[in-house]
Every structure is written in C-alpha cells, then in structure tokens.
Chain A
Amino acid sequence: QVQLEQSGPGLVKPSQTLSLTCAISGDRVSSNSAAWNWIRQSPSRGLEWLGRAEYRSKWSNDYALSVKSRITINPDTSRNQFSLQLKSVTPEDTAVYYCARGLYINSYYYFDYWGQGTPVTVSS
C-alpha cells in the first residue's frame, strides 16, 4: 500500500517561494513504473496539474506551461521523497496542493495515490 505524506507551511508571503515535501512509503521515488506529481486545486482554477519528476535511467521533469518559469520538482532518493518549489508566488497561487503518484500500467498513465493535501494561502 502506497502512502504519500505531505508537509510544509500553509502560509506564504507574496513574492516568496512556496515549498512543500511529499514523503513516500510503499514505493520508491526512483521507481521505473511511476512518476511523482504535484497537482493543485482552487475554486477559480479547479484541479490543475503542475508538474512531475520521473526516473528512467536518469531523472527528468515535465512542467505545466502556466508555471514552467517558476516551478522546480526535485526527488530526494536518500529520504524517498520529492519536493515542490514555486517561486514568486501571488495570491493566485492560493490553493490546496496535492502530491500524487502517476502510475504507468499497460500504456495507461493515471494518478492512483494522492497525498492528504496542503492548503496554502498566499498573503502578507
């Protein structure tokens, strides 16, 4: 059974960097059949995929165009976790942030396990 445990601050000031961590149990961040995603949800934007990190002989990232210039997702193999950094935040980045495992099975790719969610407010 895979479990994802999120941690990080719930309040970030405008122009600062949002940082969250997702600790993985029951799988490895370096798994060859999974990718590690960040997704956020807000009333104005709905569910929005932000990006992912995956390992296929080497690490690679994919990021949503809407945040590509501001986002970094990094794996930490020693702690079996991955992190989200979103720079230069504005109130529009206020949302519930989720980490999620993306699983590759039989040519499908879907989000089968999610973290508990972290409500993040961007405000001074």
Chain B
Amino acid sequence: QSVLTQPPSVSGAPGQRVTISCTGSSSNIGARFDVHWYRQLPGTAPKLLIYGNNNRPSGVPDRFSASKSGTSASLAITGLQAEDEADYYCQSYDSSLTAWVFGGGTELTVL
C-alpha cells in the first residue's frame, strides 16, 4: 500500500476537465513537503509533469495544473485529449520514513 493515496482510475470525455487526488498525511504533504506529478505511458519510464506543487517543465501544456492544501494535493487536466491517456503519479517526501514516496498511480481513460 502506497504512502500517498490516489484513485486507481479516472475517466473523462474529450474536452472535459478531470482531477486526480493525492492524499497524504502529517508526515508528508501535511508537513509542507512539495508535491510533484509524473506521467507514465505503458512500457516507458515516468516523466516529470509538474514540479514544486504547480510548476510545469518546458513542453508541458498549461492544460495541466496542480494544487496542494492540507494533507492533500490534486492534478487537474482541462481540455482532455486522447493523448492524455496514461498513468499519473504524485510524489512527495515523508519525514517519518525519511524517504521520497509515491502515490499508487491513477489510470486516466479518455472516453
């Protein structure tokens, strides 16, 4: 069981907005450690999508945004496109484990 909890799957129609939640605790997100998001296509390595809570690396469209509040964070994708189908992971640091930790991942399906 992952330290950060994500819904196993979400779905949405093209053009819609979807959000993916990431729930932690007082030893990670709640302790104000930053949250980062990654996207993974089948058979490939995870790729950085959002860093430092809501910063996009070069090349990531502004349809992707993220936020953090309390012990949770969320990723929002607007204007959903077929190419957005992938697995999405949140990541933070846990002070109790003294380790960088990941969510269990959320599979996004574009209907």
Does A55 reach chain B (CB closer than 8 Å)? no
In whole angstroms, what is the CA distance A89 to B57 when docked? 37
How many residues of A are counted as interface, with CB atoms below 8 angstroms from the partner's CB atoms?
A: 23
Contacts of A102 in B (CB 8 A): 100
Q: Is the CB of A108 within 8 A of B45?
A: no
Point out the residue from A47, A108, A115 that lies within 8 Å of B89, measured CB to CB.
A47
Does B70 reach chain A (CB closer than 8 Å)? no
Contacts of B57 in A (CB 8 A): 112
In whole angstroms, what is the CA distance A107 to B44 when docked? 28
In whole angstroms, what is the CA distance A109 to B93 when docked? 9
In whole angstroms, what is the CA distance A49 to B36 when docked? 14
Distance between B9 CB and nearest chain A CB, rounded to angstroms: 15
Q: Is the CB of A110 within 8 A of B89?
A: no
In whole angstroms, what is the CA distance A111 to B57 when docked? 12
Which of chain A's residues 38-96 have a Cβ closer than 8 Å to chain B?
46-49, 62, 64-65
Distance between A77 CB and nearest chain B CB, rounded to angstroms: 24
Point out the residue from B55, B98, B105 that lies within 8 Å of A46, measured CB to CB.
B105
> What 4 additional pairs, Cβ within 8 angstroms, besides A46-B103, A47-B105?
A46-B2, A47-B46, A98-B46, A112-B51
A-B contact pairs, 23 of them (CB 8 A): A46-B102, A46-B103, A47-B2, A47-B105, A49-B101, A49-B102, A62-B98, A64-B99, A98-B45, A107-B34, A109-B93, A110-B34, A110-B36, A110-B51, A111-B36, A111-B38, A111-B46, A111-B100, A114-B45, A115-B45, A116-B45, A117-B44, A117-B45
| A positions within 8 Å CB-CB of B | 37, 46-49, 62, 64-65, 98, 100, 102, 105-112, 114-117
